[in-house]
Amino acid sequence: MEPVVVVDRVTKRYGSKPAVRELSFSVGKGEVLGFLGPNGAGKTTTMRMITGFMPPSDGRVLVDGVDMVDAPLAARRKIGYLPEVPPLYPEMEVREFLAFAARLRGVGRRDVEGAVERVSARCGLAGAGTAIIGTLSRGYRQRVGLAQALVHDPEVLVLDEPTAGLDPKQIHETRLLIRELARDRTVVLSTHILSEVTVTCDRVVIISGGRLRAEDSPERLAARLATAGRGSAVVEIETASPAEAAAAALTAAPGVASVNTGSETAEGTVVLQVALEDDEDRRSELARTVLGAGAPLLGLRRAGASLEDVFLELTASEAEDGETA
């Protein structure tokens, strides 16, 4: 695939502290690239370098073959950018603001009205043209933010945490919209929510500590994360207090690595976290063990680590690898 955005050994230092270190990746034409990492990983800094907001300390960024430092205006023209906080003027009307953004990005005077019309329809703002931006809800502001990024019909759309702060319905709508927008352009979006990339992205770049940790399709990455999560199966058993007998019996049971007794709840129940030696399903044996110890069995479930937890573990452990390598 022909790369549209090339990030080539880019480093960004604030003072002497590097926020991004020797980062390289590229985004193919028509691709949706998810930029994933914990907060403070350097996502926003990287996006700001791609959009030409700030120059890299080292390395280069190419947009459609144009160097962002050598020809910033030509390169910026090809990009639409929605920062984490949508850049909106609260006193303006939606339509007025979009026309301003269009003019600023080089849309000709005669084409402005058509561009605003098109982008309003696309972002679900058709009825909100005369609304004052300051009075809009968070979801609508986000739509206006997306619309201003799109108004000059850029080849590359860069979205910094586009679903942050939205409610579940708005998140769903935004994701659908991004997928639809991606049909005829390249999209780079950052997020710290893992499920977001599985829904919207073709490819994922994971960074933490300013370094590249992984680069793969969401499916393959999910498989990797699942493997990384193996061997840490935990079963949570709810029983009545006192639970010493049950805990002792469970500790002695085959395949159990350790038992962690939780604190007593107001209803007089206790949750025992039973860590297993492998990921075999031992729930029925564990249930019998508890009952055999004369304790009531009030609940039992496998505690699967969330994707996010596993992801964080992966980035943390790979971060250590990166330091020692």
Partner 1 sequence: MTAALIICRREIAAALASPVAYVLFGAFAFIYGYFFTEFLRNFVEVGMRMSELGGFSGGSLHVNHDLINPLLLTAAVVLLFLVPLISMRSLAAEVRSGTMELLLTAPISDGQIVAGKFLGGFALYLTMLAVSLLHVAVLFWFGQPDILPILAGYLGLALFGAATIALGLFFSSLTSSQIVAGVLTLAALLLLWVVEFAGQTGGSFGRLLAYVSVTGHLAEPARGVVAVRDVIYYLSFAGFFLLLTRETVRSRRWRG
Q: List residues near partner 1 by CB under 8 A.
A: 14, 45, 48, 51-55, 72-74, 76-77, 79, 81, 83, 85-92, 96, 100-101, 103-106, 148
CB-wise, 13 or 29, nearer to partner 1?
13
Kindly tell me which of 96 and 202 has the beta carbon lying closer to partner 1.
Answer: 96
Q: Which residue, 26 or 100, has its beta carbon nearer to partner 1?
A: 100
CA distance 172 to 36: 18
Name 66's bridge partners.
63
Judged by beta carbon, residue 136 or residue 256, the one nearer partner 1 is 136
Least Å from the CB of residue 52 to partner 1: 6
Q: At closest approach, how far in Å is the CB of 317 from partner 1?
A: 29
| CB 4 to partner 1: min, Å | 17
Edge-to-edge strand ranges of the sheet holding 58-63:
17-28, 3-14, 58-63, 66-67
Q: Tell me the CA distances in angstroms from 239 to 253, 255, 259, one per residue in order.
A: 17, 20, 13
Q: DSSP secondary structure string, 219-258?
A: HHHHHHHHHHHTT--EEEEEEESP-HHHHHHHHHSTTEEE
Which of residues 79 and 204 has its CB atom nearest to partner 1 in the complex?
A: 79
**CB distance 243 to 72 below 8 Å:** no
Q: How near is the Cβ of 28 to partner 1 at its closest, in Å?
A: 22
**E strands along 76-132, which residues?**
79-82
Min CB(55)–partner 1 separation in Å = 7
Q: Please identify, using beta-carbon distances, which residue of 149 and 178 lies nearer to partner 1.
A: 149
Q: How far is CA 216 from the centre of its chain?
A: 14
Strands 66-67 and 58-63: antiparallel
Cβ(317)–Cβ(297) below 8 Å: no
Nearest approach, Cβ of residue 179 and partner 1 (Å) = 24
